[in-house]
Structure 1
Amino acid sequence: MRTRNVTPHAGHIGYAQSSGLPGAPNGTPLTRTTNNTIVQNNRNTTCNRVPGPRPAGRQCDEYPFASTLEGGGAGGPARTYGQNPPDPCPETMPDWVVRRPIPVQFFNSKGVSMCMMPGHDNMRGGGIVSWFYTKNRVHDGDTFYVKGL
């Protein structure tokens, strides 16, 4: 899957993969899940734990996607990137989210990446993931790759 026309979303995926998370082509694949309990647990372990209020017009994005077995509920450290604007993820995150410097280098192959981004980009990115699953007939238990920036 390649995330087009959603630069913040694709950039976040690229940073996450650079930090060691799975899903990059020629690496360890992601595994889709359609189990709603797993999907909700992934969300509850990541972005749903970030207290509000959120910055105006911004939403929390997570990678690996909540719809994967490698999502936040699979365990491991949470991370985000940069310090200040124009860094990709300048917003304050809770203490349990480790801030990694840019350029991003390997951190851990387990865990989750979280980044606040424009809400329209986050929603479009989620729509692209859903489209990708449907268009490519990616079913429960199927593996796939994602190319970030």
Structure 2
Amino acid sequence: MDTTINTARPGQQGSGRAVIKTKFTNPGWGSSNSLSLSTSDVRCDTALPGSTRKAGCVNSGYTPEMVYSKSGPYPELAKHIEHGQNAKNLPGKHGTNRFLTRLTDKEKRKANQKKACPPSLPRPPGKSCDEYPFASTWQGASTGGGDFSRRMINARQNSKGGSALNNFYTYNRIIEKDRFLVWIKP
């Protein structure tokens, strides 16, 4: 089986589906009918922001989930997201169809951050302002219509948790408007 999906220029993407055709033969009874099996849709791209622009592929029928744990390295971050998902009914919760969608435009991301966590907001020592939905989503404070949650959390957890989110975007090749969910574990 060989499938080619052309994505030549940086920022380009393509999709396709592989089809496997098989015919079985037995000397005693001859050949069987042909059996065709197809894969789910696959998206290949060179459109991943911040990457080395190397091509990669993902199963476009799969919705990736960012996992944070309340007993993991970012408990304050996880508790804040859980509060936003449950108490404020914000999108992105594991097990729902209320997805978050990636936003890559730097100016719009800055606008999301500024609306949720304006520079004038006092920050206690060792704390930083965390926003949910993430500024890097279309559901953020500015681009998402204004429904959001903010909380002062441990600054290191906020920074490291944000880095983990960026690694998640890269590993799962989440590009502009790709959907994902956030799963908060105990």
Shorter-chain TM-score bucket reads 0.7 to 0.9
Q: Is the 8 A contact 1:60 1:116 kept in 2?
A: yes
Take 2:120 and 2:73, find their aligned partners in 1: how far apart are those partners?
27
Take 1:5 and 1:120, find their aligned partners in 2: how far apart are those partners?
10
**Structure 1 counterpart of 2:73, which letter?**
N
Q: Is the 8 A contact 1:25 1:146 kept in 2?
A: yes
Q: Which residue of 2 aligns with 1:37?
A: 107
**Structure 2 counterpart of 1:37, which letter?**
E
Deviation by residue 1:55-74 (Cα, 9 ceiling, x = unmatched): 11100000000000000002
Q: Which residue of 2 aligns with 1:2?
A: 67
3-state SS of paired residue (1:70): coil
Aligned residues: 114
Q: Which residue of 1 aligns with 2:149?
A: 113
Deviation at 1:75, TM superposition (A): 2.1
Take 1:51 and 1:136, find their aligned partners in 2: how far apart are those partners?
34
Q: Which residue of 2 aligns with 1:21?
A: 90
Q: Which residue of 2 aligns with 1:141?
A: 177
**Structure 2 counterpart of 1:62, which letter?**
E
RCO greater where, 1 or 2, for CA within 8 Å and sep 6 or more?
Answer: 1
Q: Is the 8 A contact 1:62 1:112 kept in 2?
A: yes
3-state SS of paired residue (1:16): helix
Take 2:124 and 2:139, find their aligned partners in 1: how far apart are those partners?
27
Q: Which residue of 1 aligns with 2:135?
A: 66
Q: Percent identity?
A: 37
Q: What's the RMSD between the two structures over aligned residues?
A: 1.3
**Structure 2 counterpart of 1:30, which letter?**
L
Q: Which residue of 2 aligns with 1:91?
A: none
Structure with greater Cα Rg: 2
Take 2:131 and 2:92, find their aligned partners in 1: how far apart are those partners?
13
Q: Is the 8 A contact 1:12 1:148 kept in 2?
A: no
Deviation at 1:5, TM superposition (A): 2.0
Q: Which residue of 1 aligns with 2:162?
A: 126
4+ residue runs of structure 1 moved beyond 4 angstroms? none
Take 2:164 and 2:77, find their aligned partners in 1: how far apart are those partners?
10
Structure number with the higher strand fraction is 2
3-state SS of paired residue (2:113): helix
TM-score, reference length from structure 2? 0.59
Q: Is the 8 A contact 1:33 1:68 kept in 2?
A: yes
3-state SS of paired residue (1:141): coil
| Runs (5+) with no aligned partner, structure 2 | 1-65
Q: Is the 8 A contact 1:23 1:146 kept in 2?
A: yes
TM-score, reference length from structure 1? 0.72
Take 1:45 and 1:132, find their aligned partners in 2: how far apart are those partners?
24
